[in-house]
Amino acid sequence: MRSFWTNVKKLEEGTRLVRVAPSPGGGACWGREAEGQVELLDSSFSPTGGKLTAESLTYRTPIDPVKIWCVGLNYREHARESKMEPPDEPCFFMKPCTCLAAHGEPVRLPSWAGRVDYEGELAVVIGQACRRVSEEEALEYVLGYSCFNDVSARVLQKKDGQWVRSKGFDTFGPFGPALLVGKALPEKAELTTRLNGTIVQRSRFGDMIFSVASIISHLSRFATLEAGDVIAAGTPSGVGSLKAGDVVEISIKGVGVLRNPVVEEP
């Protein structure tokens, strides 16, 4: 596992690293995606000479996270639509790794859970273990970025008074499609969420109450961040409900579009 993180760090900043299966149900391999093509890589991330069209591949999540950290209420407008006060320090919670869904994989709605919402978010992937880091040095521990959907069963969230069950269902954590390798996003990068082709969320990351560096610094005050930890950095305003038949798309320039259909859980 240590060699994996060492090899990823050798990749050029701006590389879109994906994990794909050339055939449905087949084993996964690494690839470098650009302009609709995936250049296949070996275990040391050297090109194998193989190239496939992205549309012909089954995607896996970019990595298998060690832990999934999430930040609540990190946009003022989302705090207002939730009828909650913006926090004076980051509000953290966690999702189990079993919640993950890859690009293209259906989000399954439990019929008994009531309203379920999408929440488009930036995912930050940690590439090196750290503890008690300052904001100034925090981005040195970032491996790259991806898209995340913090799917939430809203009725259960309010009923329980805490968020483990409402955000922990299987498939309630779509993640991908690619890992954009690099320590910092472009200054004007923004997140867009589309529901059935209509834009429902759009925000620049500069609008976050707590920056990526601030979030990492706060987390590392009480917990060791490990290589492979994923941080979902919070959702902007425009959160809404899902129903079977919907398609949710979350996009970040450079990362691509994380697309997931929505189905009723059998």
The topology (CATH level 3) of 68-264 is Fumarylacetoacetate hydrolase; domain 2 (3.90.850)
Give 240's Cβ-side CA count (13 Å radius).
14
Q: How many CB atoms lie within 10 A of CB 5?
A: 16
Non-local (6+) Cβ contacts of 198 within 8 A are none
Task: Tell me the mean pLDDT per 10 residues along the chain, length 266.
Answer: 77 94 80 94 90 93 97 85 82 97 98 96 96 97 97 95 95 97 84 98 92 97 97 95 98 94 95
DSSP 169-216: STT-EEEEEEEEESSS--TT-EEEEEETTEEEEEEEGGG-SS-HHHHH
Q: Indicate the DSSP class of residue 132.
A: S
The domains of the chain are located at 2-59, 68-264
123: which 2 tokens? 């995912």
Model pTM greater than 0.75?
yes
Q: What's the pLDDT at 79?
A: 76
Q: What is the pLDDT of residue 78?
A: 76
pLDDT at position 47? 92
Phi, psi of 220 (to 5 degrees): -70, -10
Q: What is the pLDDT of residue 206?
A: 86
DSSP label of 24: T
Give phi and psi for 104, each to the nearest 5: 90, -15
Q: How many CA atoms lie within 13 A of 46 on its CB side?
A: 1
- The predicted pLDDT at position 7 comes to 84
217 contacts 109 by C-beta, under 8 angstroms: no
Sequence-separated (6 or more) residues with CB below 8 Å from residue 130: 138, 141, 216, 220, 224, 225
How much is the pLDDT for 1?
A: 61
Residue 30's contacts (CB-CB under 8 Å, 6 or more residues apart) are 17, 18, 19, 40, 41, 42, 43, 45
| Amino acid symbol at 21 | A
